[in-house]
Amino acid sequence: MNSRGRFARRLLAIFVLLLAAACGGSKESPLPAGTKVLALGDSLTAPHGVRPGEDWPTLLGQRTGWVVINGGVSGDTSAGALERLPALLEEHQPKLVLVTLGGNDMLRKVPAAQTVANLGRMLDLVNSRGAKAVLLATPKPSIAGAVFNNLSPPDFYADLAKDKKVPLIEDAIPKVLSDTNLKGDQIHPNAAGHARLGELIHADLKKIGFVR
* SS3 (DSSP) at 187: coil
The phi and psi torsions of 172 (rounded to 5 degrees) equal -60, -55
Strand order in the sheet with 36-41: 67-72, 36-41, 96-100, 132-136, 168-169
Yes or no: say if 184 and 43 are a contact pair by the CB < 8 Å rule.
no
Cα 60 to Cα 68: distance, rounded to the nearest angstrom: 7
Residue 181 phi/psi, 5° resolution?
-70, -15
The CA-based angle 57-53-68, given to 5 degrees, is: 30
Q: Of 76, 178, 188, 194, which residue is the catalytic one?
A: 188
Indicate if 188 belongs to the active site: yes
Q: Are the C-beta atoms of residues 104 and 118 closer than 8 Å to each other?
A: no
Q: Of residues 3, 26, 128, 185, which has the active-site annotation?
A: 185
Strands (E), the chain: 36-41, 67-72, 96-100, 132-136, 168-169
> How far apart are alpha carbons 54 and 66 in whole angstroms?
16
Catalytic residue among 43, 76, 78, 178: 43
Q: Does the annotation count 74 as an active-site position?
A: no
8 A C-beta contact, residue 135 and residue 201? no
Active-site annotation, residues: 43, 185, 188
